[in-house]
A and B are shown apart, each in its own frame.
Chain A
Amino acid sequence: EDQVTQSPEALRLQEGESSSLNCSYTVSGLRGLFWYRQDPGKGPEFLFTLYSAGEEKEKERLKATLTKKESFLHITAPKPEDSATYLCAVQAGGTYKYIFGTGTRLKVLA
């Protein structure tokens, strides 16, 4: 069965304290892995998509990486405005559907 597991469920960091969020997946033929940011009461905002193991994408303080079993979202020197829930999703080959993880709630303290 296709499955996505995110860890930790919640993470508190001091401003400037770098860390990583994990997304482990089991899927039949990965077509793509997607990272989103969601602020409270709002829709998810697209961040990155990764398609094959070894691929990396960067945007400001965020860097996403992908292996055959998991993806990491690295946050370097986070700021309070990085506080949000980060969602991971995978798309299996031959489907139009995403499978979402339950997200990691990140809180960055000033």
Chain B
Amino acid sequence: DGGITQSPKYLFRKEGQNVTLSCEQNLNHDAMYWYRQDPGQGLRLIYYSQIVNDFQKGDIAEGYSVSREKKESFPLTVTSAQKNPTAFYLCASMEEGRKNIQYFGAGTRLSVL
């Protein structure tokens, strides 16, 4: 089945620790996205990538980093510089062309210990 797989489903971070969230897609989409969702707020864009080996900062990139070495994979690292990382993180990929529809993974919930 084609889709977007995020792992882990739940993640806990200790003070000063970097953690990496995985996102893999087998939809053959070029564009991929990372969003952060907090209660009562809309999805906020962290980073996006239109093509392999290229990515751009979104609206809230501080304290996060990404890489795009393969078309299928777009991992997000939450660094120790992100002081308020507790949130629900969503990865998406986009079917480009006329439709431009983004499809989402199931999400990773990150909490601070």
Contacts and interface: CB of A to CB of B under 8 A. Distances in A.
Interface of A: 4, 31-32, 34, 36, 41-46, 49, 87, 89, 91, 96-103
25 contacts: A32-B100, A36-B104, A41-B109, A42-B107, A43-B4, A43-B6, A43-B90, A43-B106, A43-B107, A46-B102, A46-B103, A46-B104, A49-B99, A49-B100, A49-B101, A89-B102, A91-B100, A96-B31, A98-B43, A98-B45, A98-B102, A100-B42, A101-B42, A102-B41, A103-B42
A96 B58 CA distance: 11
A91 B43 CA distance: 14
Interface in B40-55: 40-45, 48, 50
Contacts of B100: 31-32, 49, 91
A108 to B, nearest CB: 21
A91 to B, nearest CB: 6
Contacts of B6: 43
A43 B104 contact: yes
Interface size class of B (residues with CB under 8 A): 20 to 34
A96 B90 contact: no
Contacts of B31: 96
Contacts of B102: 34, 46, 89, 98
Contacts of B90: 43-44
A43 B5 CA distance: 11
A81 B31 CA distance: 32
A42 B40 contact: no
Interface string B15-58: 00000000000000001000100001111110010100000001
Between A4, A45, A87, A97, the greatest number of chain B beta carbons within 10 A of the residue's beta carbon is seen for A97
B11 interface: no
A52 B42 CA distance: 24
